[in-house]
Amino acid sequence: MQIIKNILPMQEAAAKAKRKGKTIGFVPTMGALHEGHASLLKQCRKDNDISVLSIFVNPKQFGPQEDFANYPREEKKDCLLAKKEKVDIIFYPSMKAMYAEGYLTYIDVESLNSKLCGQFRPGHFKGVATIVGKLLNIVSPDILYLGQKDAQQCVVLQKMITDLNWPVKVKVMPTVREPDGLAMSSRNKYLTVQERLQAPILYKALLQAKKAVTQGERDATKIRYLIETLIRENSASHIDYVECVDSNTLLPLKTLSGKVLIAIAVKFGQARLIDNIVLNIS
């Protein structure tokens, strides 16, 4: 496993692989790797000749009041997980390499960026699109691997790739969960013992919503109310949003039909958790 810390050697390694006709799979991360990342890396390894993992805590996607300074940084542990998953290259750039002094250029996927989490985290998706755009130019992957837990991120990045004609396929992998249903996330580390006990209500509430839809419910207001009530009654958390939206446009639905994304964001103390399910409704 090679660790590359500068942009030029990463671009050269990618170009060399391409010249040899090898395919490159790419998993972008901010480190603090867990089994969710491992599942992306496994698929990446399976599909491609070369698998590249990037680790970069991107300041441009954190708001001024958010957890950039405290975001877990676990270089040694991350390297062990990467090795176990047979990553070929870890791209580990410095802040200076990614955002040199006087940096000015951003990618803004208009309108999609301001929905769902975008209402609560202004500028977040502009930061995500910009860094992933830069990483795609550096790593030149054939396939980009993303996790379904970050549903809006997947929609925003797919749209960016389509609109800007990047020759990259996007593969979205299912959310990996703890045995009690809590979606794996680097931010679960912020949960207190009490909050950790309550947090599985998010997925339980989503499953109850799925059950209601299976039994015929199509009214989005009722589904949202069902989820909100379950979360309120079973935790001391703050709900940012519970929304039922079209899974491609992220536009809110009154009546559930087609491919529906039910997405939630809930704060438990220091931890802002997101989760979602996608339902195909005829």
Query: Mind telling me the catalytic residues?
Result: 37
Residue from 61, 152, 158, 185 in contact with ligand PAF (CB under 6 A):
61
Q: For the segment 203-262, give every residue that binds ligand PAF (CB under 6 A).
A: none
Q: CB 197 → ligand PAF: shortest distance, Å?
A: 26
Q: Which residues contact 162 (CB under 8 A, 6 or more apart)?
A: none
Residue from 79, 107, 131, 263 in contact with ligand PAF (CB under 6 A):
131
Q: CB 30 → ligand PAF: shortest distance, Å?
A: 4
Contact 34, 184 (CB under 8 A): yes
Given the complex with ligand PAF, which of 61 and 247 has the nearer CB atom?
61
Query: By 3-state DSSP, what share of the chain in percent is helix, strand and coil, each rounded to 5?
Result: 45, 25, 35
Residue from 39, 51, 58, 140 in contact with ligand PAF (CB under 6 A):
58
Say how far apart CA 3 and CA 281 lie, in whole Å: 45
Q: CB 102 → ligand PAF: shortest distance, Å?
A: 21
User: What separation in angstroms does the CA of 95 have from each of 5, 11, 98, 255?
Assistant: 10, 17, 5, 45
Q: For the segment 4-33, give every residue that binds ligand PAF (CB under 6 A).
A: 28-30
Contact 279, 216 (CB under 8 A): no
Classified as helix, coil or strand, 266 is strand
Number of residues that bind ligand PAF (CB under 6 A): 10
Residue 280: in which H helix or E strand, if any? strand 271-281
Cα dihedral 56→61→67→68 (10° resolution): 40
Residue 35: in which H helix or E strand, if any? helix 35-47
Given the complex with ligand PAF, which of 134 and 224 has the nearer CB atom?
134
Given the complex with ligand PAF, which of 58 and 140 has the nearer CB atom?
58
Q: CB 185 → ligand PAF: shortest distance, Å?
A: 10
State residue 183 phi and psi, 5-degree precision.
Answer: -65, 135
Site membership for ligand PAF, residue 132 (CB under 6 A)? yes
Tell me the per-residue interface mask from 30 to 49 with ligand PAF, x by CB under 6 A, - otherwise: x-------------------
Residue from 24, 40, 128, 230 in contact with ligand PAF (CB under 6 A):
128
Q: Which residues contact 13 (CB under 8 A, 6 or more apart)?
A: 2, 4, 89
DSSP per-residue codes, 182-247 = PBP-GGGGG--HHHHHHTTHHHHHHHHHHHHHHTT--BHHHHHHHHHHHHHHH-S-EEEEEEEEET
Residue 2: in which H helix or E strand, if any? strand 2-4
Q: CB 32 → ligand PAF: shortest distance, Å?
A: 9
Q: CB 282 → ligand PAF: shortest distance, Å?
A: 32
Given the complex with ligand PAF, which of 87 and 231 has the nearer CB atom?
87
Site membership for ligand PAF, residue 130 (CB under 6 A)? no
- Residue span binding ligand PAF (CB under 6 A) among the ranges 12-20, 126-134, 233-241, 251-259: 126-134
Binding site for ligand PAF (CB under 6 A): 28-30, 58, 61, 128, 131-132, 150, 153
